[in-house]
Amino acid sequence: MKTKLIKLDELEENQKNLKEAANILRNGGLVAFPTETVYGLGANGLNREAANKIYIAKGRPSDNPLILHIADLEEVDQLATNISDDDRKVMEAFWPGPLTIILKKKECVPYETTGGLDTVAIRMPSHKVARELIRMAGVAIAAPSANTSGRPSPTKAQHVMQDLNGKIDMIIDGGEVGIGIESTIVDLTGEVPTILRPGYVTKQMLEEVLHKEVQIDQAILRKEGMNGVQPKAPGMKYRHYAPKGKLTIIDGQNIDKVIETIKQLVEDKKKEGFVVGVIATDESMKCYTDGVIKSIGSRLDEVSISSGLYRVLREFDDEGVNYIYSESFGVDEFGDAIMNRLLKAAGYDMIEV
């Protein structure tokens, strides 16, 4: 299959291109498109064969359900049932935006899309291109992150190219995404709303809207498999976001000590003949002298850090780095979401100093 790469720039061209993309989706094809979180790989989510194509292109386990993306609030009632007033409050507060909601599915949603579950994940993205494309396609769009399973999620069209060229019909290049880590997932089907995957929309933000307690799925806070607790979002049990090199996080209150430790580790590994990478920040870059040093973003702007995470991991892969040492970044709830991804990428290897 030849994958068509389309760059969005001129408005008139955009309409023509988006129309073509919408046609592909309606006809059961696969189109990768930008969202405010990461690039998604879209297919008609109500069409079994189209949904199946996603699993094949990504090499994704078939028990890992897909998120249905919608463009307008009314569409949620076509896909889900048992929607409460609280559920609507959450939608109105955070949609369009980086929040995915789990609800009870209606019959029209095939089990191919929900990985066999009776619930369905729904999100209304805020990215202009994503919403316009979904609206034009006129169907709910199933879209996982547009990476090969197990690789970091794509934050640029070029990342999608690396993973899926030749396997999908089209890639829409809308530039680099804003947030850079996947949406928060909240399950609203139980007694207590439960966060299954942390993201930009935090527990505190949800609690402020709902005026009641929101839980975080305990299984995602600890190392997978520990105590036999399985995460409730099937996708959270896989070792995601893995770079090819061995990643270790150095954590500590005293940043000077963290930097000193990383410098020592780099020196040791270099002596053994390895290519070594460092994940630093705009502020700490200049403190390092050895190894492949990359800034993930600025500590003054958390979104710069979340949006840089997958990009630097992929860059280290491209440069054949064997060992990567990273500073740690968790300072508040959104910081926890960033650390959740970084810890998974590191296989939970963290050194406290």
Query: Using CB distances below 5 to 8 A depending on partner kind, what does residue 99 bind out of Mg ion, ligand TXA, none?
Result: none
Euclidean distance between CA atoms 30 and 168, whole angstroms: 5
Residue 145 near Mg ion by CB under 5 A: yes
Query: Using CB distances below 5 to 8 A depending on partner kind, what does residue 196 bind out of Mg ion, ligand TXA, none?
Result: ligand TXA
Tokens of 323: 């060992």
Q: Give the Cα-Cα-Cα angle 119, 75, 109 (nearest 5 degrees).
A: 35
Give the range of 66-74, 91-99, 141-149, 317-325 binding Mg ion by CB under 5 A: 141-149
- Alpha-carbon dihedral angle through residues 198, 170, 56, 23, given to the nearest 10 degrees: 100
Q: Which residue, judged by CB position, is nearest to Mg ion in the bound state?
A: 145
131 is in an annotated binding site: no
Residue 120 near ligand TXA by CB under 6 A: yes
Tell me phi and psi for residue 307, to 5 degrees.
Answer: -75, -15
Between β-strands 215-216 and 246-251, what pairing exists: parallel, antiparallel or unpaired?
A: unpaired
Tokens of 239: 């070792």
Query: Using CB distances below 5 to 8 A depending on partner kind, what does residue 91 bind out of Mg ion, ligand TXA, none?
Result: none
Nearer to ligand TXA, 198 or 245 (CB): 198
Name the residue type at position 345. Answer: A
Nearer to ligand TXA, 153 or 284 (CB): 153
298 is in an annotated binding site: no
Euclidean distance between CA atoms 129 and 231, whole angstroms: 32
Nearer to ligand TXA, 183 or 328 (CB): 183
Q: Which residue, judged by CB position, is nearest to ligand TXA in the bound state?
A: 235
Query: Using CB distances below 5 to 8 A depending on partner kind, what does residue 136 bind out of ligand TXA, Mg ion, none?
Result: none
The beta strand positions in 198-287, using DSSP E, are 215-216, 246-251, 276-280
Give the range of 58-66, 271-279, 326-334, 345-353 binding ligand TXA by CB under 6 A: 58-66
Euclidean distance between CA atoms 331 and 321, whole angstroms: 28
Residue 163 near ligand TXA by CB under 6 A: no
Q: What sign does the dihedral 113-117-119-121 (CA atoms) show? A: negative
Euclidean distance between CA atoms 143 and 177, whole angstroms: 15
Between β-strands 170-173 and 67-69, what pairing exists: parallel, antiparallel or unpaired?
A: unpaired
The beta strand positions in the chain, using DSSP E, are 4-7, 31-33, 40-44, 67-69, 80-81, 99-105, 119-123, 141-142, 170-173, 184-187, 194-197, 215-216, 246-251, 276-280, 292-295, 323-327, 350-352
Site for ligand TXA in 63-82 (CB under 6 A): 64-67
194 is in an annotated binding site: no
Residue 317 near ligand TXA by CB under 6 A: no
184-213 mask for ligand TXA (x: CB under 6 A)? -x----------xx----------------
Residue 38 near ligand TXA by CB under 6 A: yes
Residue 99 near ligand TXA by CB under 6 A: no
Is-cis flag, bond preceding 154, omega within 30? no
Name the residue type at position 124. Answer: M
Nearer to ligand TXA, 99 or 296 (CB): 99
Site for ligand TXA in 220-249 (CB under 6 A): 232-236
Site for Mg ion in 159-178 (CB under 5 A): none
123 is in an annotated binding site: yes
Please report, as ranges, the residues that interact with Mg ion according to CB under 5 A. Answer: 145
Give binding residues for L-threonine as ranges.
37, 69, 123, 143, 183
Please report, as ranges, the residues that interact with ligand TXA according to CB under 6 A. Answer: 35, 37-38, 40, 64-67, 100, 102, 114, 117, 119-121, 123, 125, 143-145, 182-183, 185, 196-197, 232-236
Give binding residues for ATP as ranges.
60, 64, 119, 145, 153, 197, 241
